[in-house]
A and B are shown apart, each in its own frame.
Chain A
Amino acid sequence: MPARAGAALRDAFLSALVALGLFGVLIGLKTESGPGSLVLVARPWAVVIAVGLVFAGRLALLAWRGWRPAGTPSPRRLVAVGGRIGRVLAPLLLAFALSLPFYAGRYWMDLGILVLTYVMLGWGLNIVVGLAGLLDLGYVAFYAVGAYSYALLAQTFGLGFWTCLPLAGLLAACWGVMLGFPVLRLRGDYLAIVTLAFGEIIRIVLLNWVSLTNGPNGISGIPRPTLFGLTFSMGGGPGTVSHFFGVEPDISQRVIFLYYVILGLALLTNWVSLRLRRLPLGRAWEALREDEIACRALGINVTTTKLTAFAIGACFGGFAGAFFATRQAFISPESFTFMESAMVLAIVVLGGLGSQLGVALAALIMIGGSELFRDFAEYRMLVFGGALVAMMILRPRGLVSGRTPSVSLGTAKQISPDLIAQGRG
C-alpha cells in the first residue's frame, strides 16, 4: 500500500508540474491597462490555486481508481436508467418550456428563445449526423440560407414571415441537395472537410455579393412576424395585437409570441424526426449509418437516401434561419461563422447522437450554461473546456446514449451504445 501511495503521489506531483508549466504564464501573468501603456501584473496566488487543484484532483482520481468498489454499474445498466429518466424528464421539460412565459422575465425569455433556436438547430442536424451518420461541419450554411431567404424575400417582394418560412425551408433544402449531389460520394473526414468548406463559401459569398446582400453591413429592418395579420407594433393603432385584444401595447407581447413560435418550430422538428425514425426512410438512414455496403446489397439507393437526410436536415436549418432573421430584424454574415456550426455539432455530440432528449439537454446546458457563467467572463471557456473533457471521459457517447428500437414485437428494449455505429459518412 505505501508503494502505491508513493506512486500516486509521484503521479500527482508530475501532473502538478505539467499544470505549472501550462498555467505559470497563462494564469500567472495578466495584462492590465496602466497609465499610458499595458502593464503586466503577476498573480502568483492564482497559479498556486490552479496547480494545487490539479494536484489534489489527480490524487483524488487515483485514490478513487484504487479503491473503486466492486460492481461499478455497467454501461448497459446506465443505459436502462437513462431510458427510465428520459420518460419522466421529457414531459417535465416540455411542461417547463410551455409554462416559462407565465413567470419568466424579459431576460429569461430572450435566453429561452436563444436556447430553443439551438435546440431546433441541434434536432435538425441530428437528422444528418445522428440518424444518417453523415458528419456535416457546415450546417450553419443552411441556417444562413434560411435567414437571407427570408430577409431578401421580405424586403424585395414584401412577403410576410409565414409565407417566407416554408420558402426559406425549401430553399435551404435545395441547397442541401445541391451540396449533397457532388459530395455524398465522399466519406467520413473528407465529407466533413467539404461541408466545412461549403459553410465558409456561403458566408464569403454573402460577405462579397454586396449588390444583393449588402455585404458586411448586413440587412436591417427585416419585418417582424405577425399573428394572423396583426402586428406587434408599439403604436397600438388599428391592426395591432394590442388594439385587437384591447390591451396595453407592451414589448413583452412580441417576445412571448416569438418564444412560442420557436417552441412550435422546434417541436415540429422533433415530431418530424421522431416520426421519420419509425418510417422506412428513417430506418434506412439508421441502416446507412450502421453499414452502407449492406444497404446497397439490400437494394437501398444510398445516394437518394443520403440526399433526403441532407435535404430534410437543411430544411429545418432554413426554418431556424428564417426565425433568426425575423427575431433579430437584422442579419449580417457575422452571425454565420464556423463557430455556429461547431456549437450545433457539439450540442448534438454531447447530447448523444440520435437522441432527441439528449440534444435538448445539451443545448440547455451549453447555451444556457455559458449564459449563466457570463459573470465569470475569463473562466467561462475554462469551465466549458473542462466540462467537455469530463463528458468525453465519463460519457463518451453523449448525455443520453443508447437507442430505442423503432418497432418491436414484444417490449422494446434500449440498445446499448457500444453496439451502435457512429457512421463514417
Chain B
Amino acid sequence: MPAPLMPASLLEVRDLTMRFGGLTAVSSLSFAVRAGEITAVIGPNGAGKTTVFNCITGFYRPTAGGIALSPPGGGTLALERMPGHRIARRARVARTFQNIRLFAGMTVLENLLVAQHNTLMPSVASGLLAVFGLSGHAHAERAAIARARFWLDAVDLAARADDPAGALPYGAQRRLEIARAMCTSPVLLCLDEPAAGLNPRESEELSTLLRRIRDGAGGEPGCSILLIEHDMGVVMRISDHIVVLDHGRKISDGSPAEVRADPAVIAAYLGDGDDDDSPATAA
C-alpha cells in the first residue's frame, strides 16, 4: 500500500559496493531515503550496516557505486566523492557513533558549541581576527549558545550543561550525541544504534525524541533520519521505511508491516539451512 503522496527521495544509494581487500562488506546495494521520514537499516550482526553508514558519511570511500543527496534547497551532491568533513559541512549529513564519541573532557555545552564550529568560524582568518575582538564573534556566540540551549532542553540535559560530558550516565551521553549532531543543522541525521544499552523507558523517550526531530518543532525544520538499530521494538514503532541487509546485500525493503511479513527477513534472522549457501563475507 503506497502512501498517497510519495515524498521525494533525499538520499539515493545506487549499486554501492565496498570491498576490504578480498572481503566484500557491501555488494551492489541500492536504496533510497525519502525526505521527512525515518528510514531504518536492520540486519544481523556483520550484515554491513555500519559500513554503509561509513560510506554515506565519508569515512570510507566506496569501491563502486554512487550516493546522491538531494537537499531541499535543490541540486544534487555526490557524497561518494566528498571528504568526510565536507559531507558534514556542505551536504549537512550528521551522524552519531555506535560506541559513543563525545568530547569527554569538555562540558556538555562545549560539546554543542564545537558542533557549531562552522557557523561560528566561517574561515580561519575570521577565527584569528576574533582574537582581537573583531569579526562580530560575540553576536554569533550568543546565537550558538541559544541554539545549544534549545537542544539541551529537547534532550532534557539543560541541568547538566556545565558538567563534563564524560561524567554523564550512559543514556544521557547517547542523547547528548544526538543533540550534538542536531546542532550542525543537518538535513539527514544518521544514527548508529541509538538505542543500544538503553533501558525500556529510555528507548521509549528516544522514540519520542526521534519522531520530534523528524517532524520538527520549536522553529526547527524537520530532519530526515537514517538509523541502524537492533532493538526491533524501537524500529517497528518509529520507522516509516525499513531496509534489511544480510551478508552485504539487500534482502527486503518496505514498510514495517511488509518487512515483518517477508519470509526472507525471517529466514535471515532465525537462520535457514537452505538459504545459507554463500560464505559469510560481511564485516
Residues of A within 8 A of B (CB): 272, 275-276, 279-281, 283-284, 286-287, 289-291, 293-302, 304, 308, 403, 405-413, 415-416, 419-421
Contacts and interface: CB of A to CB of B under 8 A. Distances in A.
CB-based closest 6 A-B pairs = A420-B105, A299-B88, A299-B89, A290-B103, A280-B121, A419-B166
Contacts of A407: 107, 109-110, 113, 141, 145
Contact of B131 (A272, A299, A420): A272
10 contacts: A284-B114, A287-B106, A290-B102, A296-B84, A297-B59, A301-B89, A304-B124, A405-B106, A410-B161, A413-B163
B107 to A, nearest CB: 4
A298 B113 CA distance: 11
Given A275-B131, A296-B84, A291 B102 contact: yes
B26 interface: no
B127 interface: yes
A290 B106 CA distance: 8
B54 to A, nearest CB: 10
A283 B162 contact: no
A405 B110 contact: yes
Interface residues of B, number: 47
Interface of B: 57-59, 84-89, 94-95, 97, 101-107, 109-110, 113-118, 120-121, 124, 127-128, 130-131, 137, 141, 145, 149, 161-164, 166-167, 180-181, 184
Given A279-B137, A301-B85, A409-B109, 18 more contacts: A281-B124, A281-B128, A286-B110, A293-B101, A294-B101, A297-B57, A298-B114, A298-B180, A298-B181, A299-B85, A300-B114, A308-B124, A403-B105, A405-B107, A405-B109, A408-B109, A419-B104, A421-B104
Contacts of B141: 407
A81 B25 CA distance: 52
Contact of B162 (A284, A293, A413, A416): A413
A408 B109 CA distance: 7
Contact of A294 (B102, B107, B109): B102
B208 to A, nearest CB: 24
Contact of B115 (A296, A298, A412): A298
A405 B107 CA distance: 7
Given A280-B120, A300-B114, A291 B101 contact: yes
Contacts of B118: 299-300
A412 B131 contact: no
Contacts of A302: 85
A416 B164 contact: yes
B232 to A, nearest CB: 26
- Which has the most chain A C-beta neighbours within 10 Å: B86, B118, B163? B118
A202 B124 CA distance: 28
Nearest to B149: A409
- Which has the most chain B C-beta neighbours within 10 Å: A276, A405, A421? A405
Contacts of A408: 107, 109, 161-162
Contacts of A281: 121, 124, 127-128, 130
Given A299-B85, A299-B184, A301-B85, A294 B97 contact: yes
A399 B155 CA distance: 37
A296 B118 CA distance: 12
Given A280-B117, A299-B85, A411 B101 contact: no
A300 B103 contact: no
A416 B120 CA distance: 27
Contacts of B109: 405, 407-409
B228 to A, nearest CB: 15
- Which has the most chain B C-beta neighbours within 10 Å: A281, A289, A297, A409? A297
A280 B131 CA distance: 10
A297 B94 contact: yes
B21 to A, nearest CB: 21
B85 A296 contact: yes
Nearest to B162: A408
Given A298-B117, A421-B105, A415 B88 contact: no
Contacts of B181: 297-298
A283 B114 contact: yes
